[in-house]
Structure 1
């Protein structure tokens, strides 16, 4: 299967993208509106993802996070407005060209056949077949496995792993792809405390290396501790976008989540900690 995938990518001419400058906009939504099932889910979204930053998308269920995620990845067309990836409208890139510029981790990793873990991670290298970076395959795979602490799983079938182990292997595949734009949809949802921190440290490492990382999170305190910017979605719009300390405020979050919350600084780091307010 992976050989077939590699040959599909190899068959198309592609230009290997240059390394982006720090702060370069790698994904941009301008006036984006998306309707699904006859309902407008996103309403006039303007948002940038920049090289060297972690951008966290947060908001209640149904706010439009996953829809915006799909649009920023170029996988979901906008009804109005424009999504640009690496400076060009997403619709102007072929699938193979997009795969060299952005990698996507969906909420659920599905592999239909009992591939061994190493082969699943190696699938992330398929877009580079036939380019001068194909020689990096072995190193990229080994580095991704080590970063996600999944090296010990290499010979095991992906289907035999626990949910949390599958999530980390799926992330390793994305890391092995080595694109400058990473989009991760709820990468910590199936993970224990240790591995939540591991995944977000990996995100920080990638941003520090110059990548743009867009991550959908439900845990606001995790977003505050690890993101450079937080975009709060509310009813298909961006209610706030900026540094966590400026965006994660009691009043705004209480309104958006329809749940009284309190925000206070962490005693050591000073990062905002967000908790539901309990009066009893």
Structure 2
């Protein structure tokens, strides 16, 4: 019986867990507080036992400050675990700003604003030779998309005409992780096929909802948080060809238009 241990049961990991359970898997999650099929992150004896029993181990926990809490507390145990598959959900933010150019898995990392994320990515890659790292761009899906931002009055159109981003539907991440169960270890970008300006996504969401487009604004006029402003500080297109070639993965939602229609 396959048994997946997921450290960090956030939005994406919860979607993966549901998919696996529907397929007959045993899934044990880890989060800050315990619950059904859920261990508390600080329950070290229980988590060490789960690490020893799991056939598959995935961490989706981002760095906290300068450190990766999973690596600090459980890295040695995961390194020595008998699991036949291990994975880590990383971020395409490790590539930094590419001035709108394409980046792939061979592009340098660690030059952007997410130094801790790049360091964690590299540390996970050195942990085990059989590890799969999934570098993810902006994640959206049901309950967490431009449709929700527009409905809540948080949809902004920023006057940066040359800004380009990549994104991925949460269920395409799930599909990519599952495809990697039988694929070779290494690094995989999981992104859709159409990098574009965020304004186009907001405009499409407004059109689907029958609402007017928000006005173009500068970053200062939009009153964005420092985290949101940082999103606009980097500009890149993320190539996904390696996952397609080596995993046989294809995004179910290859463009933002496909994904938004499914969310609606």
* TM-score relative to the length of structure 1: 0.28
Between Structure 1 and Structure 2, the one with more strand by share is 1
* TM-score relative to the length of structure 2: 0.29
> Which has the bigger relative contact order, CA under 8 A and spacing at least 6?
1
